[in-house]
Amino acid sequence: MLAPRPFRFREWLERESVFSWLLLTPPLLFLIAFLGYPFCYGFYLTLVSRPIAQPATYVGVGNFVKLWNDPIFWKAVNNTIVFTGTATVLKLAGGLGMALVLHQHFRMKGITRAVLLLPFIVPTVLSTVAWQWILDPGMGLFNRSLINLGLVTKSQAPSWLGNPTLAMVSVILVNSWRGLPFFGITILAGLQTIPPELHETATIDGAGTWGRFRHVTLPLLMPVILIVTTFSVIITFFDFQLVYVLTGGGPANATHLMATYAYSISMGGGQLGLGSAAALAMVPVLGAVLILMSSYVRRT
């Protein structure tokens, strides 16, 4: 009969699952404390009315009822969807074009790629401040160029951030400017994985430039495009800083996104419960957007 093996600490440590969990525990504890706990606490907050520095009172779904009856909230939902949808289409179309242009042979390609990615690298707040100045109604680059070219007179110069429709256009434009290179560089990386032989075969079979793009390049790029688009939709949907800096949600809530509205309710208005509800309401709305997107993709 075998004697039970003596317990050796070192051997125990070498077991795959023990070693794994010893490594995993510190990062998991950190994430549970600072990501998991706030998430659960955020859920709890949606159920209470809790003005800043005051005790909470339970209100059940009262916060959501309040939001449901709040026209500004629905305006923000609508804005978020318009903002995300339009900006994503622009970034995708522009990024695809950028990738196709860069996917040719020319000198200094590496530097070109690095320079064109700059809008995506520079801290968003700083480039957004520059855009605020570009869009300045009196002395900004856009209006001064329009006036110098004789397209508008000084009194007709558009108020890019003061007119509700133009403000939305501006916000979408700046987001697209920043995100387009991300699409371009990622789709370019996808293009580079397509073996050139496929294009040669298609050419021999009589396909023209458009035919090769439509029937060879595009289908093979689809997986990359889908991942980048989904990723970008999520990031754009939750965007906060661009709108906060450029318009602050104005004029008259015309550019409030769900994130900026949640911020203004909780930090401006001091309603932590209501603000948390507005923030967490982004999850089901985003879910609906993603489901609609995927059903659209499956149909086509």
Among 79, 84, 86, 186, the residue binding other proteins under the rule CB under 8 A is 186
Select the span of 84-92, 100-108, 164-172, 212-220 touching other proteins (CB under 8 A). 100-108
**Of 65, 115, 151, 222, which lies in the binding site for other proteins, with binding defined by CB under 8 A?**
115
Site string for other proteins, 137-166 (x = CB under 8 A): --x-x--xx-xx------------------
**Contact window for other proteins (CB under 8 A) among 84-92, 104-112, 159-167, 195-203:** 104-112
- The piece of 1-9, 41-49, 63-71, 159-167 that touches other proteins (CB under 8 A) is 41-49
Residues between 206 and 265 with contacts to other proteins, criterion CB under 8 A: 224, 227-228, 231, 234-235, 238-241, 244-245, 259, 262-263
Which tokens go with 149?
């070219």
**Of 4 and 235, which has the nearer Cβ to other proteins?**
235
Stretch in the footprint of other proteins (CB under 8 A) among 60-68, 159-167, 181-189, 197-205: 181-189
User: By CB under 8 A, is residue 185 in contact with other proteins?
Assistant: yes
* Tokens of residue 219, six digits: 């289908």
* 116 versus 293: smaller Cβ distance to other proteins: 116
Residues 188 and 197: beta-carbon distance below 8 Å: no
Which tokens go with 46?
Answer: 């949606």
Give the binding range for other proteins (CB under 8 A) out of 1-9, 34-42, 159-167, 211-219. 34-42
Report if residue 68 touches other proteins, rule: CB under 8 A.
no
Smaller CB separation from other proteins, 100 or 207:
100
User: Among 65, 121, 291, 292, which residue sits at the site for other proteins (rule: CB under 8 A)?
Assistant: 121
Nearest distance from residue 50's CB to other proteins, in Å? Answer: 9
If one asks whether residue 282 binds other proteins (CB under 8 A), the answer comes out as yes
Q: What type of residue sits at position 260?
A: T
